[in-house]
Amino acid sequence: MTYTNFTVETDADGIALVTWDMPEKSMNVFTVEVMDEIEKIIDATVADEAVKGVVFTSGKSSFSGGADLTMIKSMFSMLAEEKAKDPQSAVQKLFDAAGRMSWLWRKIETNGKPWVSAINGTCMGGAFELSLACHGRVAANSKAVKIALPEVKVGIFPGAGGTQRVPRLANAQDALQMMTTGQSLTSQRAKAMGLVHQVVEPDQLIPAAKQMIKDGLKPVAPWDEKGFRVPGGGVWTPAAAQLFPAAPAILRRETAGNYPGALAILKCVYEGLQLPFDTALKVEQRYFTQILQTTEAFSMIRSLFVSMQELGKGARRPAGVPKTDIRKVGVVGAGFMGASIAYVTAAAGIPVVLIDRDQEAADKGKAHSEKLVSDQVGKGRMTKEDGEKLLSLVTPTPDYSTLSDVDLVVEAVFEDRAVKKAVIEQVEAVIPETAIFASNTSTLPITGLAENSRRPEQFIGVHFFSPVEKMMLTEVILGEKSGDKALAMALDFVGKIKKTPIVVNDTRGFFVNRCVFRYINEAYDMLAEGVPAVMIENAAKMAGMPVGPLSLNDEVAVDLSQKIMKASIADLGPNSVKPEHMALIDKMVDVLDRRGRKNGQGFYDYPPKPAKKSLWPGLKDLYPQKPASEVDVNVLKQRFLVTIALEAARTVEEGIVTDPREADVGSILGFGFAPYTGGTLSYIDGMGVKIFVDLAEKLAAHYGDHFKPTPLLKEMAANGETFYGRFDPYGDVEKAA
């Protein structure tokens, strides 16, 4: 029999080597067709008497990344369509679809012949669950092997047997840790946990897997044997009595109860370990069906899985501009940002010239790459040769003529119009006619900067976030005259350095910073109302924000906020900044010299390490304090999320953001907006625009006009619309199809 996605070769020992290698895909993923073929392979190998056992592996450099986008999307659209027809049978259909993979893996486990999974590279989600259902697991001793059940990160959980097999192989604490965090394991760690049987050199992978079968591997899972005992003894032991009551409390501390998928893992493990295996799988299937219907799962999968991949693959790239190969990049300004931009460019294998005003400054910029490389090599994350190769790609120099053959220039000089103007002129005098000029400005509108350019259609904003090495997001900003070629090349560059781009039109603060300022401003309001600072910070975290607003302000620097506020007043007039905000920040900077982490004192105090930072006690004396009992934490949480979401809605209304995926992905990757909501606009869509409008009006009555819902929101509420309906990101594609 032949298959589209697999080859099956049976050797003289009767061992069938099943190699998964999907045509025209860089990575194996589960589709309905793949699952159908796996079922056929199970049936065929069972029926073929010559087959004694099966080794399952991948023909690609990775094993598999798990489920396919289109399969997940179609499951949600099936659910929506069926729910409209008959809600009860829709849930039954979802239950059946959700269990397909789980029962297919169970079929492997109980087929009567031994199966061994040979894990050669990244093995995620459903692919590791398939491996867990095999009777043997061998992993390559290679850094390329990353084993994980990361479903919790997109709002769901390992629902194809993962929550049952992992705690029957590993101890319950490790199992819960692995699944509730979605962390990746190395081959060695997976072996130490009991999740794989052997770790062998990559070239020994298939022989070792075959040998397991030849050595008489029993085609029975441990839990299907009589007398099986869960590692550590199950849930009725003294150790479990310590673990299970504490686990939900720990989870709550870490996630503030915002992630139903994570909580479901605890339930599945605790309940499942007390049941026979097939019943336990059914319990898992029920919870999985329940979680799939939560707003959190829907929104997180859409933003963090589907949209993120689509944007990463260039969803906003203009059609018709051929893909460009970025062969050389110039970075002008080798300071804090430029040095990091040069590093990530070289790390992607692109030669980069790093220019500053003199050789010493340029060398200082390259020293940043040298430090990062030596840290990586020291930690064993990079080989010495790879490190040397990376560094050889960075050429520091003050000589602009080295830009004569670049494809793209990123400008990261001082945030000063005059300095940037001079640099634009100097750069354009030497770069090729075809090259693109990208400014990394954070506050200056691109349209204005482009007025200094001889070819504004090749001028664009590419806004990085600090620390550049870690932050996944890049904002690409279109000036009024930026052309398709500039956009396409900027996106090609961002893709090559493995960042996720969002494309926004020009505005003060672009998308991310506009939202971030709202977050911080709300904290200023709360401080002025006398809300204890500790409640402000904790409420933000309970709302799902990774960093409290005062802490965030300290990181970006309080005096930078002052500079930006003053610039707004100068450019837009006195009403653009609340006088109380300006007074607070002027006092912090000019009177108290509390500038943030950078001078060791801001909203927090930063004692020398190892002492931890703590909120500055003097904050209590700035405003008369309210007793904590008079502050409603739920309202604080709502204020943070609503003020940010309103700003995101305004950017859509003003035509700054045109695709809801970008507001959602941008808000999560840019400043960690409560990921369980799926992002700023999914937060609004998730609760319903009408409910959001009512909530915003209620907040406006108490906390200021900035909460007043905008005309667009009111109109959408009246019409029963959603952002993803009204600004359908697939609309044009569907119409064209």
**Does 412 participate in binding ligand NAD (rule CB under 6 A)?**
yes
Which lies closer to ligand NAD via its Cβ, residue 142 or residue 397? 397
Question: CA-to-CA distance for 627 and 633, rounded, in angstroms?
Answer: 12
| Minimum CB–partner distance for residue 412 and ligand NAD (Å) | 4
| Helix, strand, coil abundance in the chain, percent, nearest 5 | 55, 10, 30
Pairing of strands 500-505, 66-67: unpaired
CB neighbourhood size of 612 (10 A): 9
Strands (E), 275-365: 329-332, 352-355
Kindly state whether residue 464 participates in binding ligand NAD, applying the rule CB under 6 A: yes
Q: Give 341 or 713: the residue with its C-beta nearer to ligand NAD.
A: 341
Cβ closest to ligand NAD, residue 247 vs residue 409: 409
Single out the segment in contact with ligand NAD by CB under 6 A; choices: 67-75, 173-181, 211-219, 408-416: 408-416
Of the candidate residues 423, 526, 615, 657, the single one contacting ligand NAD (CB under 6 A): 423
483: left (phi over 0), alpha (psi -120 to 50) or beta: beta
Q: Contact with ligand NAD (CB under 6 A): which of 356, 522, 659, 664?
A: 356
311 or 413: whose CB is closer to ligand NAD? 413
Closest CA to 312 of 183, 503, 551: 503
Q: If you ran DSSP here, which 8-state letter would residue 155 be given? A: T
Distance CA 460, CA 446 (A): 7
Which residue of the chain is nearest ligand NAD when measured via CB?
335
Does residue number 413 form part of the binding site for ligand NAD (CB under 6 A)? yes
CA distance 307 to 230: 40
Options 279-287, 352-360, 682-690, 728-736: segment touching ligand NAD (CB under 6 A): 352-360
| Candidate residues 441, 521, 601, 643; the one interacting with ligand NAD per rule CB under 6 A | 441
CB of 611 to ligand NAD, least distance (A): 26
Q: How far apart are CA 74 and CA 618, in angstroms?
A: 55
What is the nearest approach in angstroms of ligand NAD to the Cβ of residue 517?
Answer: 14
Binding mask 27-56 for ligand NAD (x = CB under 6 A): ------------------------------
Residue 337, burial from CB neighbour count under 10 angstroms (0-12, 13-18, 19+): buried
Q: Whole-number minimum distance, CB 338 to ligand NAD, in Å?
A: 6
- Could you say which residues in the range 132-151 bind ligand NAD, by CB under 6 A? none
Residue closer to ligand NAD by CB (options 93, 597) is 597
Q: CA torsion sign, 25 to 27 to 29 to 33?
A: positive
298 part of the interface to ligand NAD, by CB under 6 A: no
Task: Tell me whether residue 332 or residue 674 sits nearer to ligand NAD (CB atom).
Answer: 332
355 is a site residue for ligand NAD (CB under 6 A)? yes
CB-based burial, 382-415: b 16+ in 10 Å, e otherwise:
beeeebeebbebbbbbeebebbeebbbbbbbbeb
Return the SS3 of 605: strand
Which residue number, 179 or 423, has a Cβ lying nearer to ligand NAD? 423
Q: Residue 218 CB, nearest distance to ligand NAD (Å)?
A: 58
If the CB atoms of residues 243 and 355 are measured against ligand NAD, the closer one turns out to be 355
Minimum distance, C-beta of residue 567 to ligand NAD, in the bound complex (Å): 11
**Is residue 477 part of the contact set for ligand NAD (CB under 6 A)?**
no
Shortest gap between Cβ of 494 and ligand NAD (angstroms)?
A: 14
Query: Please, which of residues 324-343 interact with ligand NAD by CB under 6 A?
Result: 332-338
Least separation in angstroms between CB 410 and ligand NAD: 9
Query: What does each C-alpha distance from 92 to 75, 127, 260 come to in angstroms?
Result: 13, 25, 21
Closest CA to 151 of 19, 246, 284, 314: 284
Residue pair 124/146 in contact by the 8 Å Cβ criterion: yes
Sort residue 256 into left (φ over 0), alpha (ψ -120 to 50) or beta. left
Minimum CB separation from ligand NAD for residue 510, in Å? 10
When asked if residue 252 is in the footprint of ligand NAD (CB under 6 A), the reply is no
Q: How far apart, in Å, do the first and last CA atoms of the chain sit?
A: 35
Contact flag: residue 357 with ligand NAD (CB under 6 A)? yes
When asked if residue 545 is in the footprint of ligand NAD (CB under 6 A), the reply is no
- The DSSP secondary-structure symbol of 649 reads H
Asked whether the beta carbons of 598 and 606 are under 8 A apart, the reply is no
* CA separation for the pair 253, 572 (Å, rounded): 43
Please identify which residue in 131, 142, 440, 507 interacts with ligand NAD, judged by CB under 6 A.
440
**197 among known catalytic residues:** no
Smallest distance from ligand NAD to CB 70, Å? 35
Q: Closest separation between CB of residue 21 and ligand NAD, Å? A: 42
Residue 550 found at the interface with ligand NAD (CB under 6 A): no
Beta pairing class for 473-478 and 500-505: parallel
If one asks whether residue 419 binds ligand NAD (CB under 6 A), the answer comes out as yes
Residue 108 contacts residue 82 (beta carbons within 8 Å): no
> Three-class SS of residue 396?
strand
Contact 308, 665 (CB under 8 A): yes
Contact 178, 307 (CB under 8 A): no
Q: Does 442 help bind ligand NAD (rule: CB under 6 A)? A: yes
Other CB atoms within 10 A of residue 611 CB: 9
Sheet of 136-140: strand order equals 6-10, 15-20, 53-58, 115-119, 136-140, 198-200
* Per-residue contact string for residues 686-725; x = within reach of ligand NAD by CB under 6 A: ----------------------------------------
Q: Which of 135, 197, 368, 463 is catalytic?
A: 463
Q: Residue 546: is it exposed, middle or buried by C-beta count within 10 angstroms (0-12/13-18/19+)?
A: middle
In the complex, what is the shortest distance from the CB of residue 413 to ligand NAD, in angstroms, rounded to a whole number?
4
Interface stretch with ligand NAD, choices 165-173, 462-470, 561-569, 664-672 (CB under 6 A): 462-470
Does residue 427 belong to the site contacting ligand NAD (CB under 6 A)? Answer: no
Q: Which residue, among 305, 291, 265, has the nearest Cα to 65 in the 3D structure? A: 305
Q: Does 361 bind ligand NAD (CB under 6 A)?
A: yes
Q: Which of 201, 309, 414, 632 binds ligand NAD (CB under 6 A)?
A: 414
Q: Which stretch binds ligand NAD (CB under 6 A): 354-362, 429-437, 504-512, 675-683?
A: 354-362
Of residues 5 and 440, the one with the C-beta less far from ligand NAD: 440
Under rule CB under 6 A, how many of the chain's residues touch ligand NAD? Answer: 24
Based on the shown chain and the rule CB under 6 A, indicate whether residue 234 belongs to the binding site for ligand NAD. Answer: no
Binding segment for ligand NAD (CB under 6 A), chosen from 98-106, 386-394, 438-446, 613-621, is: 438-446
CB of 303 to ligand NAD, least distance (A): 23
Q: Which stretch binds ligand NAD (CB under 6 A): 40-48, 245-253, 458-466, 515-523?
A: 458-466
Q: Which residues touch 1 (CB under 8 Å, ≥6 apart)? A: 8, 40, 44
CA–CA separation, 336 vs 340, rounded Å? 7
Interface ranges with ligand NAD (CB under 6 A): 332-338, 355-357, 361, 412-415, 419, 422-423, 440-442, 463-464, 466
The residues carrying an active-site annotation are 463
